[in-house]
Amino acid sequence: MNIVVVGSVAYDSVETPHGSRDDQLGGSATFFSIAASKLGATSGVVAVVGEDFRDSDRAILSDHGVDLNGLSVVPDGKTFRWGGRYHEDMNDRDTLFTHLNVFQDFAPDLPQAYEESSFVFLGNIHPGLQSNVLDQVESPRFVALDTMNLWIETTRDKLVEVLGRVDCLFLNDEEAKQLTGQHTVARAAQHIQKMGPETVIIKRGEHGAILFSQEDIFYAPAYPLEYVTDPTGAGDSFAGGFMGYLARTGDFTPANMRRAMIVGSLVASFCVEGFSVDRLSEVGDEEIKRRYGSFVDLTSFEPLSL
């Protein structure tokens, strides 16, 4: 197994301008691990579900080679549920509800096989749980963390504490500004680097993502899709593509981190083409290579000649 992932495995109810779905498979760990599998990386999921978690959804994860030994099931418990509504401008969404259910009393206990993992993704859950998981991995080579406004507002101290122990932080531009009080993403990234993570990746929805590291600043565009069906999970799919590619190559040079950013962006572009993991699930190597080529075409230009 390449990557230990802690995060939600959820049932989402979403409303988008293209339709609505109730209780569809979602959650940060779900999107991340399926995205990483597209690059040949195996994830071991640390999460909890209730007895209502469907066998067909378990099969979707295991068909992608996701290790479910760390997925506990609470008898009589109810799976985490999240509801969201997207506006015409799908960068804009309202959270309708967050029902933690079985996550409320979750105490992660990592299977022994996960303890020696080199890569750790601390998906968007309570920072206390993120810390707890990190405590149980012996000497990881690369730890990334994703978070959201809820944790910045309600458990800031715990979040700052765990940030001191990670190599890479994913967050969106609003959250970066909220966490640091800075008004430009460049200054926010510098502040975050001082808190711990050497690499800061700021996600900007349909406007792509920017990487700030010690050696480099790189802007990956989002793929200009004509139709977006359901943006849920785009951020986690980005992280899964990015880390899946790093886990596969083991190469942290600036040039390879740039490739990983493009891979993240392209995997996220497949995610948003369908509801839940419908589209992401069916994508194969050929489509990934083709879309990578489209990104090269989209962003290459000749030197300036005046």
Nearer to ligand AMP, 90 or 166 (CB): 90
Q: Which is nearer to ligand AMP, 148 or 256 (CB)?
A: 148
Toward ligand AMP, which CB reaches closer, 67 or 236?
236
In sequence order, the 6+-apart residues with CB closer than 8 A to the CB of 158 are: 126, 127, 128, 131, 151
Pick the closer one to ligand AMP by CB: 108 or 233: 233
List the one residue from 47, 189, 234, 266 that touches ligand AMP (CB under 6 A).
Answer: 234
Interacting span for ligand AMP (CB under 6 A) from 49-57, 68-76, 110-118, 234-242: 234-242
Does 96 help bind ligand AMP (rule: CB under 6 A)?
no
**In this chain, which stretch among 107-115, 205-213, 226-234, 252-260 interacts with ligand AMP, using CB under 6 A?**
226-234
Q: How far apart are the first and last CA of the chain?
A: 52
Q: Which is nearer to ligand AMP, 189 or 268 (CB)?
A: 268
Considering Cα of 284, then 277, then 221, then 89, what sign does the dihedral take? positive
Q: Which long-range contacts (CB under 8 A, 24 or more apart) does 132-136 make?
A: 132/107, 132/108, 133/4, 133/6, 133/46, 133/108, 134/162, 134/165, 134/166, 136/108, 136/109, 136/110
- Distance (Å, whole) CA 225 – CA 264: 15
Query: According to CB under 6 A, which one of 16, 35, 82, 280 is a site residue for ligand AMP?
Result: 82
- Find the binder of ligand AMP among 16, 28, 118, 180 (CB under 6 A): 28
77 touches ligand AMP (CB under 6 A): no
- Minimum distance from CB of 26 to ligand AMP (Å)? 3
127: number of Cβ within 10 Å: 23
Please work out the total of residues on this chain that contact ligand AMP, with binding judged by CB under 6 A.
Answer: 16
Q: Which is nearer to ligand AMP, 190 or 221 (CB)?
A: 221
Site for ligand AMP in 108-147 (CB under 6 A): 124-125
User: Which residues of the chain form beta strands (DSSP E)?
Assistant: 3-6, 10-16, 19-26, 43-50, 71-74, 80-86, 93-99, 119-122, 142-146, 168-172, 199-203, 209-212, 217-220
Secondary structure letter of residue 115 according to DSSP:
T
Site of interaction with ligand AMP (CB under 6 A): 8, 10, 12, 26-28, 82, 98, 124-125, 150, 232-236
